[in-house]
């Protein structure tokens, strides 16, 4: 029966195995560019690395969500800017119709122009982004209003729902992102209801009702002020989205730097270690080949 390997041979094999392991680790770092290719490479750092990667993924998803909402809010803000300009026309037409010089025929013409503008407001309320009605609240597949000139009033009741949507910023705080068309154009307060203010003015002009015209015109300033307040709400939301996006981008940079520090290999050091391991391996094999060899006949002699 053959005896076990002698201590010197066993030590040689152990040392060679250590050298091979070091060389394989260095080769992996050089080929991948990272120093942690498996859990055993840095067991004390792997938990931190995995958590940091998860934080980065979460922050990047938050930025994607913020980007989509920013597009929606920017569109909403642009729509309300158009609405403010369009309502300026309503005020101008109201002033013209409220003049003692305006004839009944001219007032009727102005009434028709106001009806056309009212229809345009209904169109603005139906603004879409990515196939969603942004002013329909949570029912974003439903147009908020319809217009039918044969009906009185020509604008339908609100067809959407309340808006409960919020967006989360990188710190985890949430804030609302949209108003509904009902809030903007169809306020429950008659003194700030855009639709009814135009309808009332148009009706008074069509009927050549001087008192009704004066009453309707006197209320337009309040509606204009309210509409500008809704525009300001979108401006505030834009500012918050910008701040949240900037914060998210800074967090992504910090997390990427942290991950790089945890996992990126020092290429110069890795190449040096690989070269040293190759040299040690070659030297060990050459040294072992020069030692006296023990074979089967040594045990039978």
Please spell the DSSP secondary structure of 160-187, one letter per residue.
Answer: S-----EEE-TTS-EEE----HHHHHS-
Q: Please, are residues 127 and 134 in contact by the beta-carbon 8 Å criterion?
A: yes
Tokens 């913020």 — which residue? 66
pLDDT at 69: 96
In whole angstroms, give the CA distance from residue 147 to residue 125: 11
Nearest residue to 106 (alpha-carbon basis) of 212, 218, 217, 206: 206
Positions in the chain short of pLDDT 50? 1-2, 296-301
Is the four-CA dihedral 273, 275, 278, 279 of positive or negative sign? Answer: negative
Q: Please, are residues 198 and 226 in contact by the beta-carbon 8 Å criterion?
A: no
Is the four-CA dihedral 61, 62, 63, 69 of positive or negative sign? Answer: positive
CATH 1.20.1330.10 applies to domain 49-257: yes
pLDDT at 260: 79
pLDDT at 177: 92
| Residue 226 Cα to chain centre, angstroms | 29
pTM of the entire predicted model: 0.75
């Amino acid at each position: 029966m053959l005896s076990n390997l002698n201590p010197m041979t066993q030590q040689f094999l152990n040392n060679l195995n250590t050298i091979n392991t070091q060389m394989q680790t260095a080769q992996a770092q050089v080929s991948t560019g990272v120093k942690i290719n498996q859990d055993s490479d840095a067991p004390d750092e792997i938990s931190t690395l995995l958590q940091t990667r998860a934080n980065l993924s979460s922050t990047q998803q938050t930025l994607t969500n913020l980007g989509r909402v920013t597009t929606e809010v920017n569109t909403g803000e642009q729509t309300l800017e158009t609405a403010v300009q369009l309502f300026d026309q309503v005020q101008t037409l109201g002033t013209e119709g409220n003049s003692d010089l305006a004839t009944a025929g001219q007032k009727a013409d102005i009434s028709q122009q106001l009806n056309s503008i009212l229809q345009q407001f209904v169109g603005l309320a139906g603004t879409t982004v990515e196939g969603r009605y942004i002013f329909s609240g949570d029912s974003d597949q439903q147009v908020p209003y319809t217009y039918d000139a044969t009906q009185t009033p020509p604008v339908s009741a609100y067809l959407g729902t309340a808006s409960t949507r919020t967006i989360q910023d990188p710190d985890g705080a949430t804030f609302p992102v949209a108003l509904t068309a009902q809030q903007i154009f169809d306020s429950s307060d008659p003194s700030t209801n855009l639709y009814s203010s135009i309808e009332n003015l148009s009706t008074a002009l069509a009927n050549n009702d001087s008192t009704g015209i004066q009453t309707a015109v006197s209320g337009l300033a309040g509606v204009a002020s309210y509409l500008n307040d809704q525009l300001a709400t979108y401006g505030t939301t834009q500012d918050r989205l910008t701040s949240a996006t900037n914060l998210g981008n800074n967090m992504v940079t910090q997390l990427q730097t942290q991950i790089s520090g945890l996992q990126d290999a020092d290429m110069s050091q890795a190449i040096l270690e690989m070269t040293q391991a190759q040299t040690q391996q070659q030297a060990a094999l050459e040294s072992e080949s020069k030692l006296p060899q023990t074979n089967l006949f040594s045990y039978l002699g």
